[in-house]
Amino acid sequence: MPHQCTNCERVFADGSKEMLSGCPDCGGNKFQFKPDSATETPTLGDDSGGGDDAETTPDPSADATSSPTRESTPRTPSADAAAAGDPDPTPTPEPSTAADATPGDDVIEAESDPSVLTEDTAQADARSDVVSADELDDAASPPPSADDAARAVPPTSDESPGIDDLRAELNDQFESIKILEPGQYELNLMELYDRQECIISLQEDGHYVIEVADTWRDDA
């Protein structure tokens, strides 16, 4: 149960599309992310009374821990922060003592664990999403300078060639129209939007005819 509405605490399964348009129960649009391992902590079990977490904290002190645990949960600002293993002010990351640890340790364990989790479908979706041109620019600029600092590359005449190369490489990877077979096409909308010339005709053999700027007319 990785996603939970921060408003009404309704839980959604991993990959659920229900929450994409807001919580169907309360309309809330803020959700916190709870990786599978985190659900083993008493945090979620306390409010739902579900049995799947009984194994983790069988001793009665779990009841006593419920209120601090629950308080600490909403404090995690977002799913991102939890999933990224946000550096925590609490310093003891040892899982071995968790069995007889204090209530606070339970919480620590839950929050430090996600950093070693394997990627789930939601994260995979987010990672495979298309970024905007601006983001690409931002992402493209740091590497050359980082390279310069890290190793003595041949005298840097200027930094732009590296960025240009990267852009060219990206352009090669993301062509504007991919012809899978005649009648089946994949379109890269950002690339189509960015390109100067307007594609006016696709040919059967995979070529396309473009109208170059010099021949543009103001009016059709």
- For another protein, the binding residues (CB under 8 A) are 17, 20-22, 27, 29, 129-130, 132, 134, 176-177, 182-190, 192-195, 198-202
Nearest-approach distance from CB 183 to another protein, in angstroms? 3
Compare residues 152 and 180 and give the one whose CB is closer to another protein. Answer: 180
Compare residues 29 and 121 and give the one whose CB is closer to another protein. Answer: 29
Nearest-approach distance from CB 79 to another protein, in angstroms? 16
Compare residues 64 and 126 and give the one whose CB is closer to another protein. Answer: 126
Helix, strand, coil % in the chain, rounded to nearest 5: 45, 10, 40
Nearest-approach distance from CB 157 to another protein, in angstroms? 32
Compare residues 140 and 190 and give the one whose CB is closer to another protein. Answer: 190
Q: Other C-beta atoms within 10 Å of 6: how many?
A: 19
CA–CA separation, 135 and 102 (whole Å)? 44
Nearest-approach distance from CB 194 to another protein, in angstroms? 8
What phi and psi, each to the nearest 5 degrees, are found at residue 166?
A: -60, -45
Cα 32 from chain centre: 13
Nearest-approach distance from CB 204 to another protein, in angstroms? 8
Q: Which of 109, 39, 8, 106 is nearest to 66 (CA)?
A: 106
- Per the CB < 8 A criterion, the answer to whether 23 and 10 are in contact is yes
Compare residues 152 and 189 and give the one whose CB is closer to another protein. Answer: 189
